[in-house]
Amino acid sequence: MNILYIDIDSLRADHLGCYGYHRATSPNIDALAAEGLRFTDLYVSDAPCLPSRTALWSGRHGLRTGVVNHGGLACEPFREGADRAWAGTFFEDGWMKSLRDLGYHTATFSSFGERHGCWHWYAGFNEIHNSGGCGMERADEVMPQAIDWIERRAPSEKWFLHVNVWDPHTPYRTPEDFGDPFADTPLPEWMTPERFQSCYEGYGPHSPQEPTGFDSNDSPWPRAPDPIDSMEKAAAWFNGYDTGILYADLYIGKLIEALKANGLYNKTIIVIGSDHGENLGERNIWADHQTADRSTCNVPLIIRWPGDEAVQGVNRGLHYHFDWAATLVERLGGKVPGVWDGRSFSMALDAGADGGRDALVVSQGAWTCQRGVRFRSEDGEWLMLRTYHDGYKDFRPIELYDLATDPHETTDLSAARPEIVAKGAAILENWLAETMARSERDVDPLFTVIREGGPYHTRGELPAYLDRLRTTGRGAAAEALEQRHCRKVERSVTVR
């Protein structure tokens, strides 16, 4: 049985039809979901791109690999030191090596490694094909290369192929002649004119008055107008994102047709996944992936496994993305490396159960320094956020949301439900203690990021941003940021 992993960058689960979205963004993905297993509560352990794929391919949390950021010390793995194995842990204990030990020929079509200088990520691939656009290429440039590869290898067995497309990633660059397929389809109900106006009056990188960073620019991308100063422009951003999904889905359909034409459709495990989701107005972040919450870290996972009746239906367990990697290895007859944090739930599948964990802890270190705790109780589907560095956004140190009633995180319940906050804080503390005990280093790389001056994408931006806030009528926001980030530390001096 071959394995095809279609990795769609920045793909939110709740913008796919098979997850209940009201727009027809994903007919080919939906068809795969109807024949396979769909996961509702699978989260990446570390976001965004570089930390997420490092964690999945290594089977370990960023706290243990050292990779939680997009620049600085914490975008590189910890040095392994004198006990380093011949080819290093990323190869010897990596996901690709586990598949190679099972006889799989491993290949990737992706520009991810070059885009992020993520050279450790290549460990274990037999073939590496850089699709050439450093993350700016479209599916029509990537998929023909992958289809050609499949056609040339059609007679062979036992391959794992990773195909990475970027079309839902900002800036939304689906060709203009593809049109605007969602122009006449309403926005999600939660994004009302009143909510948009509140967002517009707010602040933070990628908020409506500066949706591409910390300033406003003349955007060369018609699907991503800058600034977002009207509901019409807000709709353009939603439509641009959803059109990117539809464009990727179109070419996924072509890839599936190639499998069928070569007699491989029922000889191939097909997986749809993503490295992270996308904030689309949640927490007043537009079209990026900057938080440790549902919108950024809850990703789709769809598995079509021919002949395996246990891999069908809907799985509602709480899982990390590297848990399914462990499950894949075990289900194929391999052994999950002992160094992994990923846990197989293969036995649960065979028993007709969801498996999963009691709670998840997810991290963000490139745009904020934040950890999210996802857990359940009889009266809620909880997300507690602990923010250590706000990335110059309107975040409080502790926030609490009930995702069952408030999936877009609009109402902070931390003051109303202190007992739930206490439970989330205890989960976080226990996770830190247990994960640090398994770590080969005594460093939490998230605090390395803070010591370096904050998340990579926000570092050094505050002085100019304070000026911009004041010149755009948001002086109160500037004052709040100054209070949080520019307070002088008074030192007492003892005169002897």
pLDDT truncated to tens, each residue of the chain (496 aa)?
999 999 999 999 999 999 999 999 999 999 999 999 999 999 999 999 999 999 999 999 999 999 999 999 999 999 998 888 888 999 999 999 999 999 999 999 999 999 999 999 999 999 999 988 999 999 999 999 999 999 998 777 799 999 999 999 999 999 999 999 999 999 999 999 999 999 999 999 999 999 999 998 878 899 999 999 999 999 999 999 999 999 999 999 999 999 999 999 999 999 999 999 999 999 999 989 999 999 999 999 999 999 999 999 999 999 999 999 999 999 999 999 999 999 999 999 999 999 999 999 999 999 999 999 999 999 999 999 999 999 999 999 999 999 999 999 999 999 999 999 999 999 999 999 999 999 999 999 999 999 999 999 999 999 999 999 999 999 999 999 999 997 643 444 444 4
Residues 32/272, Cβ–Cβ less than 8 Å: yes
The residue assigned the tokens 């029922």 is 266
Q: What does the radius of gyration of the chain's CA atoms come to, in whole angstroms?
A: 22
Number of other residues whose CB lies within 10 A of the CB of residue 200: 17
Q: What are the residue ranges of CATH 3.30.1120.10 in the chain?
A: 362-459
**10 Å Cβ neighbour count for 83?**
7
C-alpha pair distances (Å), 105 with each of 1, 176, 269, 409: 12, 38, 14, 43
Closest CA to 181 of 240, 133, 126: 240
pLDDT of residue 186: 96
Distance CA 170, CA 337 (A): 35
Q: Where in the chain is the domain with CATH 3.40.720.10?
A: 2-356
The CATH fold of domain 2-356: Alkaline Phosphatase, subunit A (3.40.720)
Q: Can you tell me the distance from the alpha carbon of 327 to that of 309, in angstroms, rounded to the nearest whole number?
A: 15
Q: Work out the burial of residue 264: count CB atoms within 10 Å of its CB; fewer than 13 is exposed, 13-18 middle, 19 or more buried.
A: buried
List 38's β-bridge partners, or say none. Answer: 302, 314
Token representation of residue 115: 């885009």
Q: Which pLDDT score, from 0 to 100, does residue 493 have?
A: 44
Q: What is the pTM of this model?
A: 0.95
Number of alpha carbons in the 13 Å side-chain half-sphere of residue 470: 11
Model pLDDT, residue 220: 87
CATH, domain range 362-459: 3.30.1120.10
Helix crossing, 231-261 with 139-153: angle to 10°? Answer: 10
pLDDT value, residue 489: 39
- The residue whose two tokens read 């990773």 is 162
- Please count the CA atoms within 13 angstroms of the CA of 464 that sit on its side-chain side: 10
User: Cβ–Cβ contacts within 10 Å for residue 79, how many?
Assistant: 9
Predicted local distance difference test score (pLDDT) of residue 157 = 77
Cα separation, 344 vs 430, whole angstroms: 21
Tokens describing residue 270: 């097909």
User: Given strand 2-8, what is the order of strands in its sheet?
Assistant: 127-129, 105-109, 159-165, 2-8, 268-273, 301-304, 37-39, 313-315
